[in-house]
Structures are given as structure tokens and as C-alpha cells.
């Protein structure tokens, strides 16, 4: 059922994030220059607020169960160029200027393999 | 702790999706022409398999708790141009050729508002 609150969330100008039962939103980061998807992660309320306050991408690490400033250790922070939310405000899209590779494997993007005929193929 | 299975998942060519405790993966769809993020959703094993088998994006609707062929009602299906997975295989990136708007509001992308100073601003 679509409620008045849902309608306001979709058409309004009020930031009203819809966190799921675990308190999370999906967050996708693209490279503002190449347009490539760099990574997909999650944000809790604190991660979203820190991202908005600092202009640097923060996430929630589900495996470590802790706030995660991307690049805190590696220095490969992601500077926010633009941040958007979607229709029902349960996802975030960040267009970022990355200071280095997004992936912990050293690759520019975490999405370095395509699926072909049920197998993975490394993208050049 | 990083296990051998984790390492294989990261560097190998075997498709070995890492579904979360709810049996889901994150899935992001971009427009193959514009590069814009169209939507972010979830896939369960069946949705991923249907997507791979048919070349048309399928998701799992958390609100309806059912398989969701995008565009089944509207006709705005998303044809898969390329499908990738990420380092730990818990997310999917689809570059798609959409047959119509991705958003149920009629907008091309669900991400039609940017966040500026804590408020939402419609993107032209």
C-alpha cells in the first residue's frame, strides 16, 4: 500500500532515508570521470551523515559491523562530486573522484569480471 | 578472516555468488548508452539465474517478497548488454539497454534527485 508518507518520499524535497530492517541503505559509487561503477556497499544513518558532512564516502561494513571510511587505511578516499537518492529513498548513488583504486585487490573497480556463459571473465 | 574460498571467489573464474543471510545480492543497473545509474535493487539466486538465462533483468522484490521481472507490467524491460560481479561476488552490475523508463514514476532513472545541504533537488 502506498501511503502519504511514501508519496512525499518520492516527490518531495525532504531527505527522508528509508533504512531497511537492519538499518541500512544500498550505496553505489561511480567514477565521475569514466562513469564506471566502482563499488556497491551499504550505509547506515551515521555513514550517510558522515558522507554528507565531510564530502568523503563513508559506509557501514556488514562483515566488521562498524563504520567504514573508505580509504582510511589505503588513502584511497572517494571525494563526493554529487550524491543522489532514489525514488523511495532506500538507495544512494555517489558520483565520486577517487584518490586511488576502489578495490582492495588494487583494481580500479571492484567489478573487474563479467559473467559469460555461467563463468567469469576478467575485463581488460 | 580470509579463507581459501574467499580467495578463489576474488581471483577465480568460477561464478560463486555470495548471498547474504536473507539470500540476496545487491544489483545495480546502468544505462549502457548514458552510463547513468538507473536503479539499485536485490537479486536472489532465482532472479540471478533468470537474468543469466533470459538476458532480461530480474530482481527480488523485498516488499512483495516475490520474483520481479522488471518491466513485466510496464513493458519497460531491461536487456542485459553486460553483466559483472564484484570482488567478493556479493553484488551485480548490469549494463542494460532499457526499453523505457526505469522508474515507476516515469522518470528515466530512479535517481532523479541530488542531495544538497541536507535537502533534495530535482535533477534537470
Give CA B49 to chain center in angstroms. Answer: 13
Cell digits for A56?
568523503
Q: Which chain B residues touch A86 with a CB distance below 8 Å?
A: 39-40, 103, 110-111
Contact B40 A93 (CB under 8 A): yes
Of the two residues A7 and A123, the one the predictor is more confident about is A123
Nearest to A118 among B10, B15, B39 (CB): B15
Percent of chain B with pLDDT over 90: 93
Contact A13 B120 (CB under 8 A): yes
Domain ranges of chain B: 4-10+17-122
C-beta atoms of A120 and B26 within 8 A:
no
Distance from the Cα of B115 to chain A's closest Cα (Å) equals 6
Residues annotated within the binding site of A for Mg(2+) are 86, 88, 90
Whether residues B118 and A52 touch (CB distance < 8 A) is answered with: yes
pLDDT at residue B1 tops 70: no
Q: Is the pLDDT of residue B3 over 90?
A: no
pTM, 2 dp: 0.96
ipTM (interface pTM)? 0.95
User: Which chain B residues have a beta carbon less than 8 Å from that of A10?
Assistant: 105
Buried b (16+ CB within 10 A) or exposed e, B69-107: bbbeeeebbbebeebbbbbbbbbbbbbbebeebbbeeeb
> What are the tens digits of pLDDT across the range B41-83?
999 999 999 999 999 999 999 999 999 999 999 999 999 999 9
Nearest to A42 by CA among A52, A55, A29, A56: A29
- Tens digit of pLDDT for each residue in A20-52? 999 999 999 999 999 999 999 999 999 999 999
Q: What are phi and psi of B113, to 5 degrees?
A: -135, 135
Please say whether the structural domain B4-10+17-122 has been given the CATH code 3.10.20.810. Answer: yes
Residues of B with CB under 8 A from a CB of A: 10-15, 20, 26, 28, 30, 35, 37, 39-40, 52, 62, 82-88, 91, 93, 103-105, 107, 110-115, 118-123
Q: Cα(B92)–Cα(B90) distance, rounded to whole angstroms?
A: 7
Say if CB A57 and CB A50 are below 8 A apart.
no
Helix (H) or strand (E) holding A121: strand A119-122
pLDDT at B124: 81
Q: Test A86 with B111 for CB contact under 8 angstroms.
A: yes
- Chain B residues touching A103 at Cβ < 8 A: 86-87
**How much is the average pLDDT of B104-116?**
97
Grid cell 550524491 is found at A83
Mean pLDDT of B27-49: 98
- For A62-91, what is each residue's pLDDT tens digit? 999 999 999 999 999 999 999 999 999 999
Choose among B13, B91, B118: nearest Cβ to A40: B91
Amino acid at each position: 500500500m502506498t501511503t502519504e508518507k511514501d508519496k512525499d518520499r518520492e516527490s518531495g524535497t525532504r531527505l527522508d532515508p528509508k533504512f531497511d530492517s537492519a538499518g541500512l541503505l544500498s550505496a553505489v559509487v561511480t567514477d565521475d570521470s569514466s562513469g564506471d561503477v566502482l563499488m556497491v556497499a551499504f550505509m547506515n544513518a551515521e555513514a550517510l551523515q558522515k558522507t554528507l558532512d565531510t564530502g568523503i564516502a563513508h559506509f557501514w561494513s556488514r562483515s566488521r559491523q562498524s563504520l567504514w571510511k573508505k580509504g582510511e587505511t589505503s588513502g584511497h578516499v572517494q571525494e563526493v562530486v554529487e550524491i543522489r537518492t532514489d525514488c523511495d529513498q532506500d538507495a544512494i548513488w555517489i558520483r565520486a573522484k577517487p584518490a586511488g583504486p576502489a578495490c582492495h585487490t588494487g583494481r580500479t573497480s571492484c567489478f573487474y569480471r563479467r559473467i559469460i556463459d555461467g563463468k567469469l571473465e576478467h575485463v581488460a
